[in-house]
Copies of this chain bind each other. A is one copy, B any other.
Amino acid sequence: MIVSQNSKIDIFSNAVEALRDPLPQRVWSVIVSLFGDLAQHDGDHISGVALTEIAGLMGIRAEAIRVALHRLRKEGWVDSIREGRSSQHQLTQRGRKDTVSATPRIYARARTTTQHWNIVGASSDTGLEPVLREVTSAVELSRRFALIPSDDMDLPKDLMVFAITPKTVPHWMQSSVCPQDLADAALALEHALTQTNAMISAAGTFDPVQRAALRTLTVHRWRKIVLRIPNLPDMFFPPNWRGEACRDLTFDLLDQLPAPTLAELEASALQRR
């Protein structure tokens, strides 16, 4: 399909509009998504010019990017190197470690379901908080009880541990595993991705900076949902849970917007100036 240059610009703006998070965005968190998607490897760096161009297409002003980068540097996530009037930004070792460890969950094309779970219990004196701090995959049920994948071995000795076979997961428990705001976010993202996928299919190719912007918006919204989905079996999710539809649509969209190399990105950013 041949699409005129003007209508391609419209399609791009409409796609950005559709993908923009209805909730207030944290710019530093968007930048984390961007680095995770395009520059998570050792030695990867993105210029201030390219960052500003991509952010601009997402509707984020240069000043907001500067503030966010300042914050990320302060928290040890990003290193910046000044080069004359421009600068280069890259993940720190710590930033890279966290990014790399989240990548398999964010980019998994199928849900990982842990089939074997334990219910663990703490005494009323100690409570579960120390355990919940250690075991990130734990699903809290109350102050004293939680679900933990059964392969998590390093548990405190004074913990009650029962392997479980779920028989009934009532509505209130589905709502606690998958709270309303998460269910709502998935529903909204499904809608946004369905719209965007339809637009993009008709649009032909976008330049590397545009692809980077659309990918970042997509990955960012999906990341905020997928990292909250516990690996529990299906029966723990409400019947109207749209998270898996979002997953499919996310990868349908990303497959249409191949990740540019950093060289392509920088060249495209310079061209746009």
Interface positions of A (Cβ within 8 A of B): 118-119, 121, 123-125, 141-142, 144-145, 155, 157-173
Number of copies of this protein chain within its complex: 2
Name the residue of chain B whose CB is nearest to the CB of A175: B123
Our pick among B157, B164, B166, B167 for the contact of A170 (Cβ within 8 Å) is B157
Contact indicator B144/A158 (Cβ below 8 Å): no
Name the residue of chain B whose CB is nearest to the CB of A167: B161
User: In the complex, A144 Cα to B145 Cα: how many Å?
Assistant: 10
Our pick among B124, B158, B159 for the contact of A142 (Cβ within 8 Å) is B124
Neighbouring B residues of A155 by C-beta, 8 Å: 168
Contact indicator B119/A162 (Cβ below 8 Å): yes
Neighbouring B residues of A123 by C-beta, 8 Å: 170, 172-173
Contact indicator B118/A167 (Cβ below 8 Å): yes
Contact indicator B167/A162 (Cβ below 8 Å): yes
Neighbouring B residues of A168 by C-beta, 8 Å: 155, 157, 159-161
Closest CB in chain B relative to A248 CB, distance in Å: 30
Neighbouring B residues of A160 by C-beta, 8 Å: 168-170, 173
